[in-house]
């Protein structure tokens, strides 16, 4: 394992960041550094060898803070009618199968896969420390159909990756997201909590993910970090509580207009 990066912090702060998503480089990393990076608005990804051409050989890790950050407002999850129907066929749990989830997310056959053994090792350590969590979607006969994992820090949940098994759960990753949103909402102050998904993609946009500028993200991050973590338990009503009820029109205090009595 790489040396501990607890002190000094080797990554640049926002004042030194260029106007690009990649804001830092290190050779090697460990769980304490990763956790501190999230608290400062960054996350790690192994770099493609082409991106480190000309640098000294080593395990170069890129640290990213996207100029435009993808976030999912906890009152903005879009649940289609078909997804509501799919959710009836799954049960959702938290932290029951973390290693299975992260390894499924890191399947080497996945397109543009980036989760390697070092990522699995570090995030499994964070899971053991109570700082990384998985949400699983199971079929009625007990098969793992999909899931997601991410890092938690106060009111921040930084989603890292999600997967579904196309043979048994086409919508299973979305169902796991429903469970996650319900759980975060149950932690209270959902308007101050932050569900970070790194980048907005066309697929994530269909679920309600929005883009916010980096400085806005950092302001929201500071507020979120001050909150307590949510209870790591899926609410019994997760299928409905993941989406807030539509506001009802206020009742008028005026009396209906009728004929004037003489």
- All structural domains of the chain with their residue ranges: 19-66, 69-241
DSSP per position, the chain: -PPP-SSS--SPPGGG--SSSEEEEEE---HHHHHHHHHTT-EEEEPPGGGGTTSPSS-EEEEE--SEEEE--TT-----HHHHHHHTTEEEEESSSHHHHHHHHT-TTSTT----HHHHHHHHHHHHTTSEEEEEEEETTS-EEEEEEEEEETTEEEEEEEEE-TTT-TTHHHHHHHHHHHHHHHTS-TTT-EEEEES--HHHHTTT-EEEEHHHHHHHHHHHHTSPPPPSS--TTHHHHTSPPPPPPPPP-SPPP-PPP-
Structural domain 69-241, CATH architecture: 3-Layer(aba) Sandwich (3.40)
pTM above 0.85, yes or no: yes
Per-residue pLDDT of the chain (262 residues; tens, 9 = 90+): 333 333 457 788 899 999 999 999 988 899 999 999 999 999 999 887 666 666 665 578 899 999 999 999 999 999 999 999 999 999 999 999 999 999 999 987 776 667 989 999 999 999 999 999 999 999 999 999 999 999 999 999 999 999 999 998 889 999 999 999 999 999 999 999 999 999 999 999 999 999 999 999 999 999 999 999 999 999 999 999 998 766 554 544 433 333 333 2
């Amino acid at each position: 394992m790489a040396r501990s990066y607890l002190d000094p912090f080797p990554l640049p702060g926002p004042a030194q960041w260029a106007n690009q998503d990649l804001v830092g480089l290190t050779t090697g990393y460990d769980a304490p550094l990763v956790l501190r990076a999230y608290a400062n608005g960054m996350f790690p990804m192994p770099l493609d060898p082409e991106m480190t051409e000309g640098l000294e050989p080593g395990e170069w890790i890129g640290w990213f803070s996207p100029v435009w950050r993808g976030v999912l407002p906890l009152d903005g999850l879009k649940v289609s009618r078909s997804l509501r129907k799919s959710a009836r066929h799954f049960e959702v749990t938290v932290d029951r199968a973390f290693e299975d989830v992260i390894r499924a997310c890191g399947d080497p056959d996945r397109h543009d896969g980036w989760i390697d053994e070092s990522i699995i090792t570090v995030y499994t350590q964070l899971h053991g420390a109570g700082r990384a969590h998985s949400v699983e979607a199971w079929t009625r006969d007990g098969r793992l159909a999909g899931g997601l994992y991410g890092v938690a820090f106060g009111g921040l949940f930084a989603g890292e990756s999600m997967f579904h098994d196309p043979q048994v759960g086409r919508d299973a990753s979305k169902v796991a997201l429903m469970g996650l949103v319900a759980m975060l909402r149950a932690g209270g102050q959902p308007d101050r909590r932050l569900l970070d998904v790194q980048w907005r993609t066309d697929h994530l946009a269909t679920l309600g993910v929005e883009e916010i500028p980096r400085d806005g993200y950092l302001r929201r991050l500071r507020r979120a970090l001050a909150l307590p973590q949510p209870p790591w338990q899926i609410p019994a009503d997760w299928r409905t509580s993941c989406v807030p009820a539509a506001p009802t029109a206020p009742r008028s205090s005026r009396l209906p207009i009728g004929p004037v009595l003489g």
